[in-house]
Structure 1
């Protein structure tokens, strides 16, 4: 089963290793799994698989230029607007979500994103498996594993309602605040 390669990987990779020259993450399609040395919420456990993602997303209408390396590196250095993992972690860690730019994008602003990047540097570790159709594996993993940080296809998870509400509250607060400059 592909899940065992993610739940009990032979190796986990840190932000420093993934962001270094000679990045070990292959530029191919696949599934990645996130483990955390400290849980982002007291309701979750550390040192276990909490989230899986895929790259590329299934895009039958057009080819995708995404692959594991781009997506994992983006999660480590991007922002909440482009990473549902970062959005979830920031909300769980109590960072303030804000509207930025024209007001349509929501991020944790420069300071919040920097704090989240630092937290991920200290606590987030990733592993991956290569697969030509990662969306096929993702569905199986979400059905069979306890992945509390995943929302899509994961309503059956006990943490789903709590996380959905927390993210909705953060979005609502962001819409009530002025656009961050």
Structure 2
């Protein structure tokens, strides 16, 4: 049931739709799936589910403020430091990852790079979701059963995992070798 709702959803939503106000994404816990009309890497398929995520990450307290709306919207307009999906997409697209901020510990694609990534996602990424009161209870099952090449956590069995791990590690290493930027 969960897998089919994400792999063959009745509707996929664009950045424009998701970021509109009030927006279609509910403010509840759940699982979201990302489909790409054009894949971010030539060895990946187009037009299908490539990544799943959950919100909240895990209910460690009853006061969690994460929900589907906040998380999905953040992926469309946030930065690589706060979004593993954005980090992965930017690295695959060859954007330059940089250390930012006063400590230099955060890594993003800088303002210009994040804008390029947001534009690419607006053109090629589509999202769907499934409400679920405890999404962390279904995440591992979905990752183990589905071919999700953009998920790294719990996904070592995926054929693209070693390549994606290498691409992200190389981007981080290059960022460490460059000066911190604003």
Equivalenced residue count is 181
- Shift of residue 166, structure 1, vs aligned partner: 0.6
Task: Indicate yes or no: 2:101 matched with 1:101.
Answer: yes
1:18 corresponding residue in structure 2: 18
1:159 corresponding residue in structure 2: 160
Instruction: Write the deviation string for residues 23-82 of structure 1: whole angstroms up to 9, x where unpaired.
Output: 000000000000011000001011000000000011425631100000000000000000
Which 4+ runs in 1 deviate beyond 4 A?
Answer: none
For residues 4 and 134 of structure 1, what CA distance do their matches in structure 2 show? 15
Task: Indicate yes or no: 2:136 matched with 1:143.
Answer: no
2:52 corresponding residue in structure 1: 52
Structure 2 unmatched runs, 5+? none
Structure 1 unmatched runs, 5+? none
Instruction: Write the deviation string for residues 69-122 of structure 1: whole angstroms up to 9, x where unpaired.
Output: 000000000000000000000000000000011201100001100000000000
For residues 21 and 89 of structure 2, what CA distance do their matches in structure 1 show? 26
- Shift of residue 22, structure 1, vs aligned partner: 2.1
For residues 33 and 61 of structure 1, what CA distance do their matches in structure 2 show? 25
1:89 corresponding residue in structure 2: 89
2:42 corresponding residue in structure 1: 42
Structure 2 counterpart SS, 1:6: helix
For residues 180 and 94 of structure 1, what CA distance do their matches in structure 2 show? 18
**What value does the CA root-mean-square deviation take over the aligned residues?**
0.9
Task: Indicate yes or no: 2:123 matched with 1:129.
Answer: no
TM-score, normalization by structure 2:
0.97
2:77 corresponding residue in structure 1: 77
